[in-house]
Chain A
Amino acid sequence: MKGPGMLKNQYTRHLEIEHDPSACPSKDDPSQCYYLLAFYNKNSTKIMTTSVRVHFQSYDPGDIDLTKEYQNVVEYGAFFNYEINPAVNADIQPFIKSLKVKLTTF
Chain B
Amino acid sequence: MYVVLNVVVEQRYYITSLSKQYNEALSTTLSQTLMVNPFEQECYEYFVLRTKYDVRFFVYGYTGQADIYVAARNEPEGPKSNRVHLRAAFGSSTSVAFSPADRKDLVGYSTGTYWVCIFAYSPFSGLLVTQEADLTGRYDLQDSVILTKWVKQSEYFYSRYRNSAFASRGVLHINLEVAQSLGEDDEVPFIQWIVCKSPIWSECELTSA
Contact = CB atoms under 8 A, between A and B. Distances in A.
Do they bind each other? yes
Task: Classify chain A's interface size.
Answer: 35 or more
A17 B194 contact: no
Interface in B13-31: none
A34 interface: yes
Contacts of A47: 106, 150-153
Contacts of A38: 156-159, 191-193, 206
A49 B148 contact: yes
B71 interface: no
Interface stretch (B49-57, B111-119, B176-184): B176-184
A36 B160 contact: yes
Interface stretch (B3-11, B36-44, B84-92, B120-128): B84-92
16 contacts: A10-B182, A11-B179, A11-B182, A24-B195, A35-B172, A37-B141, A37-B160, A38-B191, A39-B157, A40-B190, A41-B155, A46-B153, A47-B151, A53-B175, A57-B171, A57-B173
Q: How large is the interface on B (under 10, 10 to 19, 20 to 34, 35 or more residues)?
A: 35 or more
B153 A44 contact: yes
B72 to A, nearest CB: 15
10 nearest A-B pairs in the assembled complex, by CB-CB distance = A51-B89, A4-B190, A60-B168, A3-B192, A49-B179, A58-B170, A34-B196, A5-B191, A17-B172, A41-B151
B126 to A, nearest CB: 13
A25 B176 contact: no
B77 interface: no
A82 to B, nearest CB: 14
Interface string A6-44: 010011111111111101111000111111111111111
A2 B191 CA distance: 8
B12 interface: no
Contacts of A3: 190-193
B164 interface: yes
Contact of B176 (A5, A10, A23, A33): A5
A78 B186 CA distance: 30
B170 A60 contact: yes
Contact of A55 (B86, B143, B196, B207): B143
Given A7-B188, A11-B177, A52-B174, A34 B154 contact: no
